[in-house]
Every structure is written in structure tokens, then in C-alpha cells.
Structure 1
């Protein structure tokens, strides 16, 4: 007697493998669906974390972004010498206030000082190709500013005190350096000094130049620089005494 197998689960599965596949909603499909869901949830979590990081970054709480390093004066001068006007503008923005203050204290008149500033800027732009990178840029710049200011001062009909009339004292005048700052009375007092003394004390007390730098700018020995600054400070101390009326200068 021949027995015919009864179709059962195994036969059904075999038929499925041999014939057209049928949808299967067994555990594997459920696991795949759950995996896709987990992946979607993970992606969403990562996206949320990324957005949170961006928010913290914008608030400066995640980490501090390092600031770009500022180019040096020498680098800007080199770029300016090659025709980079943006570099030249940035370089002059660092010194324009000090250039104006220097010219104003040497010249005394605001309009003439403005002309001296313009002459300085033109002189720097034209002279950049000849600037030596091994030199200090500020020293080179102040030399141009002083020459421009002296040129303007030479056009004025001022009569400063003769050098012989400047008082000689041995006691130090420590407060004068602090008083050679802003103010009409100071400018008037400076205008009464001889140009040589005026320039020396302005470069020292206004620009903060070293004695050696001033000597290089003016082309004189360091001892002469020190002498001029000392006598100029002494004269300013007398001219700026509380009993004196700057308006009468």
C-alpha cells in the first residue's frame, strides 16, 4: 500500500520555496521592522543631538572657536608694498589715532595737523616698498609723521621760546610725562617750545618711543635726546603751573 504524504506546514513551506514567494509576517520580518524603527529613532536622536550641539555652539557652551591670528605690522607692510590696499588700510587703522595726536602736538593747529596726517599716509604708501622688514615699523612710521609735521610747522609764523630761555633744573619732573596728553592748554604750552624740544618730548611721552628710537628718528645722539626731553619737561612744568593761565600763552 502506497502512502501519499499529507500536505502540512513543511510541504507548504517547500511549495513556497519552489513556487512564487508569498508574504511572510513571521518573527524575522518583525525583527527587521523593529531594526528599521530603531535606526529611524537613532537617526532622529542624532539629528536632535546635532541641533542641540549647534545651539550650544551658538551660545558658546560647546567649545570656544579660536580667533584668527592677527597679521603683524611687518606682514601688512609687505602686503601693502605689493599693492594690497586692504592690508594698508588695516595697518594705518592701527596707528592713525597716534599719528594724528603726534602731528597735532607738534604742529599745534588742528587743520595743519590734518594736512600733516594726510602727508604721512601718502608718504607711508609711497615708501612701503623701501621698508626693511628687519626694522620696527612704528619707528619708521613716526619718522615720516615727524617730517610731515615739521614741514607743516615750518609754514607757521610762530615764535617759540629761544633755547637759551628754557630753564635748567636738576630736580626731576616726573609728572610732566603724565600731563603731556590731551587738552588745549597742553597744546598751547607745547607750541611755545622750540620745535626740536617739542618733537623729542612728544615722541617720548606721547608715542612712547625709546631714547634710541628717537635718536634714530631725529638723527641725533641719545644724550642729546635725553637733554632735550629733560629740558622740555621742565619748561612744560613751568608753563602748566596752576597759577599760569594757558589762555594768555
Structure 2
């Protein structure tokens, strides 16, 4: 999942450039300023229209709808969106439809797996392994970010400048599809306590350190009165 999430998030400037959003019309120093300005505006639009609303909607529904259902829905929708963006890239890249679908993908990233994949690991693992397993899960996400960043930069210009971006979106669709099947293996964690989710007996689970008590002999020493 994080290969696609960070692949989009860390390369949104490349995506915006590939679809011709706000291309600089002047040369020289002014062109550099215009390019940075357009990239900033484009990222603000993507965040305001997709990422931020997705977080708020996830916040509202995560306890009532459930983690598993939200994650499954997110992966299914994202698979479909990336299939459309990837296979229809050449026809859509110069239209507002592409920007809309791209914002929608950002929305369902957060109203879906980007939220649930750090909520579920904090709940689903047994108590004694929870922090370690959650750390491994987080590290796997960062590994996905590295793969996405390196892979995107190496692949996007195959066949010409930004010519491989559409195929990268198809690859993202494949990773979203694998997320659908992996989510089916997870139990639902909503409204369940950590003790219940651990599948461990709680009686006597926490024990204090053994304390060795020495026999203390009390002696009464008479005090002579003057």
C-alpha cells in the first residue's frame, strides 16, 4: 500500500508536471519561480481536495464502520481508480478528469488503508509483542516509501520524459489489489479491548517480582533504670 501512497505523495510534483499543470510560460529565473509556485499550488489543491477530507471522514467512520471494512473498501476503490488512471492516462492526462480522479485517489488513501494500516497494528498483535510488531509494520511502510521514491524516479522517463508514468499507475493498481486479499486475512478490531484481541489469558498475566522475605528475629533488650 505504501508503495502507492508514497509513490503519489512524494512525486506529486512529477505527476503535476507530467499532466502539464501550471507549466511555466517564461524562461530564466522567472520560470524557476513559476514552477515552484505552481507545484505548491497544485499540492495545496491535492491536499485540500483529497488528503485532509479523507482523514476527517476516516475519523468519523472508523469506530462505527470498522477498521477492516474501511481498509477493504479503500483498497477496492483505489484499485479501480489506479486502473482507470493507468490505462486511460494518455487520454486523461490533459483533462480536469485526471485531476479529479487523482484527488479522489488521495481521498480514499486516507479514508482507507493509510489510516487503518497504522491503527490495526497497534491493536491486533499480542500484548507482549505489540510494540515490536508495530515497529516492524511501521518500518515496512518506510521501506515502501524508499522503493516508491527510487522506483518512480528510475522508471518515469523510460521511453521519453514522463512517458512511463501511466505504467507506474498500473503497477500501483496491482499493489492495491494485493492489499484487498491481505485485508481479508485480518480480524475486525473495532470495539474490542486490547486484552480480548491478544488472545491470551489475562489471569496472572502480570506478576510482580518475587520478593524473598528473611525471617527477622525480634529481641527485647531491657533498659536499666537509674
TM range (shorter): under 0.3
Question: Which entry has the higher C-alpha Rg, 1 or 2?
Answer: 1
* Larger RCO (CA within 8 A; separation ≥ 6): 2
What TM-score does the superposition give when structure 1 sets the normalisation length?
0.22
